[in-house]
Amino acid sequence: GMPSAPPPVLAPRRKTRQIKVGSVGVGSDYPISVQSMTTTPTTDINATLQQIAELTASGCDIVRVACPSADDAEALPIIARKSQIPVIADIHFQPKYVFAAIEAGCAAVRVNPGNIRKFDDQVKEIAAAARDHGTSIRIGVNAGSLEPGILKKYGKATPEALVESAVWEASLFEEHGFHDFKISVKHNDPVIMVAAYEMLAEKGDWPLHLGVTEAGPAFQGTIKSATAFGALLSRGIGDTIRVSLSAPPVEEIKVGNQILQSLNLRPRKLEIVSCPSCGRAQVDVYTLAEQVTAGLEGMEIPLRVAVMGCVVNGPGEAREADLGVASGNGKGQIFVKGEVIKTVPESAIVETLIEEAMRIAEEMGEA
């Protein structure tokens, strides 16, 4: 058939310089990438590689590993070589690990200049080593570790303080002709974070990595990140994202991917259109939606599945979806591409939807 038009987005991407993080392009010419960070001790190479494999399988594009000690730095060459996705070494305090990570073959190094004493003395060598190895850099400014002089000037981590710090640190690399870096200015308050990124986006064409730092446990962190990223991404700002949750990193990837899919910045996969239920519901919508979601988890095809509690909006929504059910009178009308294909007893709704989804997936695979 006719190739379909790309789905609409809210704004064109802000034009940025392009960089490479290993095989992944970062900047406005490339899709927005999703990152997470391992929680295993980096010295435990097998556990770290196992977690990276899980992250890769869940749709993570780039992974960051902490490198707080010499033992961690020693683990980097194997991790960088065996990881299926580019590895960024996360370095605070110790410039020597920056060099170790570059030599280890990490795709990129995250430096937090606020946490490296006499950082400006080191930049020339870092830039030279990074250039020699094709390593890119992330300048990661963080509200919790602002450079002391800037903190003193502003009193606290205001958007202006974060941006001044970032622009100054960028200039240190640029002075040496090094431009292969992206910048983040993270804060735990979405309002300050959004204001900082908006301001930073006006000041240069650097690719930007978005993050709300210490966003909290899954529920709060998901909402804080989605709200803040949504405000920025809907204006075209942001080239990579990391959702920080006090939860396993695979959860961060699921949330990150869902945020991008919601804004049509990444192709939508499984989408459950389920009603909130109300006094008219003739079926337990929550359980039904949960069971259908669980049964279809991991489906790789774009599929809109409507789960509706009654016949008021049910048939309408179910018809718009690829697949759907409208329930009533202890039965479910099963719709495929707008046609009622069968009516099944309530107890068979979930299995029927899953069967039909598999059948559609197979057809799409064959097409």
- Can you give the binding site for ligand SF4, defined by CB under 6 A? 275-278, 280-281, 308-310, 312-314
Nearest CB to ligand SF4, comparing residues 261 and 282: 282
Nearest approach in angstroms of CB 283 to ligand SF4 is 8
Phi, psi of 241 (to 5 degrees): -135, 150
The Cα 240–Cα 33 span in angstroms is 5
Nearest approach in angstroms of CB 321 to ligand SF4 is 13
Nearest approach in angstroms of CB 282 to ligand SF4 is 7
Nearest approach in angstroms of CB 349 to ligand SF4 is 14
Nearest approach in angstroms of CB 333 to ligand SF4 is 12
List the one residue out of 103, 110, 171 whose CA is nearest residue 136: 110
The Cα 258–Cα 238 span in angstroms is 15
Token readout for 239 is: 């080239």
Nearest CB to ligand SF4, comparing residues 246 and 329: 329
The Cα 224–Cα 188 span in angstroms is 9
Nearest CB to ligand SF4, comparing residues 215 and 310: 310
3-state secondary structure 295-313: HHCCCCCCEEEEEECCCCC
Nearest CB to ligand SF4, comparing residues 278 and 358: 278
Nearest approach in angstroms of CB 227 to ligand SF4 is 25
CB 35 within 8 A of CB 241: yes
Token readout for 71 is: 């033992």
List the one residue out of 249, 95, 252, 250 whose CA is nearest residue 241: 252
The Cα 268–Cα 7 span in angstroms is 10
Nearest approach in angstroms of CB 325 to ligand SF4 is 11
Token readout for 280 is: 């008219």
Nearest CB to ligand SF4, comparing residues 278 and 294: 278
Nearest CB to ligand SF4, comparing residues 267 and 338: 338
Find all residues with CB under 8 Å of 362, minimum gap 6, and list them.
none
Nearest approach in angstroms of CB 280 to ligand SF4 is 4
Eight-state DSSP code of residue 346: G
Find all residues with CB under 8 Å of 158, minimum gap 6, and list them.
192
CA-CA distances (angstroms) from residue 146 to 49, 88, 160, 161, 187? Answer: 32, 21, 12, 8, 11
Nearest CB to ligand SF4, comparing residues 212 and 283: 283
214: left (phi over 0), alpha (psi -120 to 50) or beta: left
Nearest approach in angstroms of CB 317 to ligand SF4 is 7
Nearest CB to ligand SF4, comparing residues 243 and 289: 289
The Cα 343–Cα 155 span in angstroms is 66
Nearest CB to ligand SF4, comparing residues 159 and 309: 309
